[in-house]
């Protein structure tokens, strides 16, 4: 069996193949300089991926925080009655005609950077500040997606407040999470005074499924800083993927709780029977076994025509249309336990409701000038917030069949500031502009036609529909007959009509839960009670490490040849742990063994690489990038007895899991069978 000399080699690791010596690139390579040395054992066949049941922490209540781009909230349920979901108290303040079971994702800090308020309270207080005073306060809104768009996200990433001042993003998120923690725990203490919060609460944070590992780790770090859990109790915090949470909730819905957009009715007859989707599927399948020659039994048994069209291996899509993103997932309902299997990796893009807000801002720039709008936002930040609130109220009333025009109030500060800056009034600006579908009303408002308002929706709505159609064309998801439209933006009549018009003709049934804006939040609570409900996921990327393989002439490029101690090696080989789009079961492990290069070494650091392609050969290939590092913190070795023989080489066995919402790693010292502190860091890259 092939062995690899330790001398002169750094960052060596155990191979899964006799022909592969898992050794990173040689000294002098820029990819090796960052790794601590580890030496190889004799290469041996690595165990096949093995599924292990996840260890669940004890808890008496699950508290889920849906941290949204535009609005946020929390809900909880007790383990004694997990499906009885308690929504948070109604928030103070708010906008007329809007349900207040969530609060705007707005954070207000004093000029000294001290927490002042969150949500409606923050927004309204900031609104009432004197314009000159408001310049010194730090007001953050819709800041969640800055984490997604940051290409080099770290713990030092900063966010910019409305007044232009900057603050560490980690602190901004921690302020918000701490607010929800204190609010939720106070409500729980009032309901259950004997509850010991640190020992009995399992926390759940929602994130978009398209977020990469650094963004997920960032949210976890913010939760640690906010005091939700400690690092030592990391298992008491779960990261839930938003469309997954919605899927978990939708499968539990009673059929009378769904709005079928193809008929615009809830349903009649037995459709209102209190039977959940997954139980309906189970009942239907049992009936199908008894009567395979007819499908009319589905309606007769109470399942209803909505589910009569479902085939064996029921498949459905969830489109989570939120404030910042659209997130798509496709699940297959498995029997007999009602678990879910992901059929294609999560997909989506930045097509949330804020896209409509940006289109409105661009419209204002066309009318009043881009330089003026930028200056107004900078010098009158509170008044700009007022303007966005006024537009939000009108945006919610927009519909495809609305006849009357929409009036949008301009703050007096805007009108006065424009006159002082330009020397004429806003009515003159409207007459001079090339925008002929926005007029100045006699009430002192912008008067926008319904067609003009709907045009503001089109780029975002078209992006959502295009993503859905692209996903439906994938062979892996063929047979999907049902689309759940969820998320805050799914409340929009404009979006509902556009999706139904585009996809209804393809035989896809589009349904919307009645409490569409709370679907993710409620689903996150259910996910926290039973995180094993999503049994199989698809890996979004290919992950692996760089190794040395035995050089094969004609197969390996000559420039990758390394000769060391008479051995011929191919450098920079990308050894894959998991491939993009590969199905990975919850608890399934990928195992590798490592050995410290030096006696007494206390830390092993191994670079991780990722790419979107499944067939990358080398870590230098286009698209392959260093994405993180696996670190193993070692305890001091015991002193071996003086037997005159060299001590055995120390083996550390690491087990990685790619089937959960976060990539996880555990490790054990083989010689002592004791756990080794192991972690994967995606933020210090």
* pLDDT band per the 50, 70, 90 thresholds, residue 672: confident
Best CA proximity match to 680, nearest among 304, 26, 214: 214
| The predicted structure's pLDDT at residue 360 | 94
Top pLDDT among 615 and 289 is at 615
**What is the Cα–Cα distance from 520 to 321, expressed in whole angstroms?**
11
Determine the pLDDT at residue 445.
87
Per-residue pLDDT, 100: 63
Share of the chain above pLDDT 90, in %: 51
For 507-526, the DSSP string reads: TPEEEEETTGGGHHHHHHHH
Which range among 37-41, 109-113, 149-153 shows the weakest confidence by mean pLDDT?
Answer: 37-41
**Long-range pairs for 118-127 at CB < 8 Å and ≥24 separation?**
118/175, 118/176, 118/179, 119/72, 119/91, 119/93, 119/179, 120/91, 120/92, 120/93, 120/94, 121/92, 121/93, 123/93, 123/385, 123/389, 124/93, 126/382, 126/385, 127/382, 127/385, 127/386, 127/389
Can you tell me the distance from the alpha carbon of 438 to that of 359, in angstroms, rounded to the nearest whole number? 14
Q: How far is it, in rounded angstroms, from Cα 594 to Cα 654?
A: 8
Q: 32-41, 185-194, 250-259, 497-506: which range is least confident on average?
A: 32-41
Gyration radius from the chain CA atoms: 28
CB within 8 A of 480, min separation 6: which ones? 315, 316, 317, 330, 472, 508
Produce one character per residue of 277-299: b if its CB has 16 or more CB atoms within 10 Å, e if not: bbebbbbbeebeeeeeeeeeebb
Q: What is the pLDDT of residues 640-670, one digit of tens each?
A: 444 444 456 788 899 999 999 999 999 999 8
DSSP letters of 55-78? P----SEEEEEEE-SSEEEEEEEE
Please give the Cα distance from 528 to 237 (Å, whole number): 9
User: What's the CA gap between 451 and 449, in Å, rounded?
Assistant: 5
CA distance 596 to 604: 7
Q: Tell me whether residue 89 is exposed, middle or buried, using C-beta atoms within 10 angstroms of its C-beta: 0 to 12, 13 to 18, 19 or more.
A: middle
Residue 338 — pLDDT band, cuts 50, 70, 90? confident
| Residue 34, C-beta contacts closer than 8 angstroms, at least 6 positions apart | 605, 607, 629
- Calpha distance 471→465 (Å, rounded): 10
The b-or-e profile of 106-128 (16+ CB within 10 A means b, else e) is bbbbeeeeebbbbbbbbbbbbee
Pick from 612, 540, 166, 71: nearest CA to 344: 540
Q: Is the pLDDT of residue 294 over 50?
A: no
Q: How far is 367 from 437, CA to CA, in rounded Å? A: 11
Quick one: average pLDDT of 114-138?
A: 91
Query: Which pLDDT tens digit goes with each residue over 373-389?
Result: 999 988 888 889 889 98
Q: Which two tokens stand for residue 227?
A: 């005091």
Residue 363 or residue 193, greater confidence: 363
Summarize the confidence of residues 128-144 as an average pLDDT. Answer: 89
CA angle 675, 680, 685 (to 5 degrees): 150
Per-residue pLDDT tens for 341-365?
999 998 888 899 999 999 999 999 9
Nearest alpha-carbon partner for 610 in 621, 622, 592, 626: 626
Q: Which helix (H) or strand (E) holds 447?
A: strand 445-448
User: Closest by alpha carbon to 250, among 523, 60, 26, 456?
Assistant: 523
Q: What pLDDT does residue 90 have? A: 66
Q: Could you give the angle at which helices 213-226 and 169-191 cross, rounded to 10 degrees?
A: 60
Closest C-alpha to 22, from 545, 617, 543, 548: 548
Say what percent of the chain tops pLDDT 70: 80
Q: What is the pLDDT of residues 543-585, one digit of tens each?
A: 999 988 899 999 999 999 999 888 899 999 999 999 999 999 9
């Amino acid at each position: 069996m092939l062995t690899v000399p330790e001398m002169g080699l750094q960052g060596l690791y155990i191979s899964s193949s006799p022909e592969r010596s898992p050794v990173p690139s040689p000294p002098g390579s820029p990819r090796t300089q960052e790794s601590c040395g580890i030496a190889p054992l004799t290469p041996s066949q690595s165990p096949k991926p093995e599924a292990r049941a996840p260890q669940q922490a004890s808890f008496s209540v699950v508290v889920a925080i849906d941290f949204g781009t535009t609005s946020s909230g929390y809900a909880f349920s007790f383990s004694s009655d997990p499906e009885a979901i308690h929504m948070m108290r109604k928030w103070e303040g708010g906008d007329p005609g809007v349900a207040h079971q969530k609060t705007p994702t707005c954070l207000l800090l004093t000029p000294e950077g001290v927490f002042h308020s969150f949500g409606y309270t923050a927004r309204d207080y900031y609104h009432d500040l004197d314009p000159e005073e408001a310049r010194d306060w730090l007001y953050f809104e819709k800041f969640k997606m800055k984490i997604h768009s940051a290409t080099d996200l770290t713990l030092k990433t900063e966010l910019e407040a409305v007044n232009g001042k900057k603050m560490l993003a980690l602190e901004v998120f921690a302020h918000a999470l701490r607010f929800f923690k204190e609010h939720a725990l106070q409500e729980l203490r009032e309901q259950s005074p004997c509850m010991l919060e640190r020992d009995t609460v399992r926390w759940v944070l929602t994130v978009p499924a398209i977020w990469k590992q650094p963004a997920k780790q960032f949210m976890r770090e913010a939760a640690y800083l906010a005091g939700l859990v400690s690092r030592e109790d990391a298992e008491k915090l779960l990261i839930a993927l938003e469309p997954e949470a919605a899927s978990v909730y939708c499968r539990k819905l009673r059929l009378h709780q769904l709005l079928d957009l193809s008929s615009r009715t809830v349903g009649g007859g037995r459709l209102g029977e209190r039977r959940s989707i997954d139980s309906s599927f189970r009942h239907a399948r049992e009936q199908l076994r008894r009567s395979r020659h007819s499908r009319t039994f589905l309606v007769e048994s109470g399942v209803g025509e909505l589910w009569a069209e479902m085939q064996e291996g029921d498949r459905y899509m969830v489109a989570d249309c939120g404030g910042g993103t659209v997130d798509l997932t496709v699940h297959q309902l498995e029997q007999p336990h009602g678990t879910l299997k992901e059929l294609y990796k999560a997909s989506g893009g930045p097509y949330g409701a804020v896209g409509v807000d940006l289109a409105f801002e661009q419209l204002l720039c066309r009318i009043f000038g881009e330089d003026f709008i930028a200056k107004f936002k900078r010098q009158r930040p509170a008044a700009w917030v007022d303007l966005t609130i006024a537009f939000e109220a009108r945006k919610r009333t927009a519909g495809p069949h609305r006849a009357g025009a929409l009036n949008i109030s301009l703050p007096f500060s805007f009108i006065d500031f424009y006159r002082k800056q330009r020397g004429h009034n806003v009515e003159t600006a409207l007459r001079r502009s090339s925008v002929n579908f926005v007029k100045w009303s006699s009430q002192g408002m912008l008067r926008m036609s319904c067609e003009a308002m709907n045009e503001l929706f089109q780029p975002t709505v078209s992006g959502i529909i295009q993503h859905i159609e692209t996903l439906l064309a994938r062979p892996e998801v063929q047979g999907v007959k049902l689309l759940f439209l969820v998320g805050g933006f799914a409340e929009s009549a404009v979006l509902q009509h556009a999706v139904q018009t585009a996809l209804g003709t393809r035989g896809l049934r589009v349904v919307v839960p009645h409490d569409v804006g709370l679907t993710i939040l409620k689903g996150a609570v259910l996910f926290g009670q039973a995180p094993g409900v999503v049994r199989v996921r698809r890996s979004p990327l290919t992950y692996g490490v760089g190794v040395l393989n035995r050089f094969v002439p004609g197969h390996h490029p000559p420039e990758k040849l390394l000769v060391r101690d008479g051995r011929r090696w191919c450098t920079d080989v990308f050894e894959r742990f998991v491939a993009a789009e590969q199905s990975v079961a919850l608890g399934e492990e990928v195992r590798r063994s490592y050995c410290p290069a030096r006696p007494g070494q206390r830390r092993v650091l191994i670079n991780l690489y990722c790419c979107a392609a499944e067939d990358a050969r080398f870590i230098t290939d286009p698209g392959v990038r260093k994405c993180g590092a696996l670190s193993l913190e070692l305890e001091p070795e015991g002193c071996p007895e003086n037997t005159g023989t060299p001590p055995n080489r120390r083996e550390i066995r690491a087990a990685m899991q790619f089937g959960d919402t976060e990539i996880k790693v555990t490790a054990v010292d083989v010689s002592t069978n004791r756990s080794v502190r192991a972690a994967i860091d995606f933020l210090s890259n």
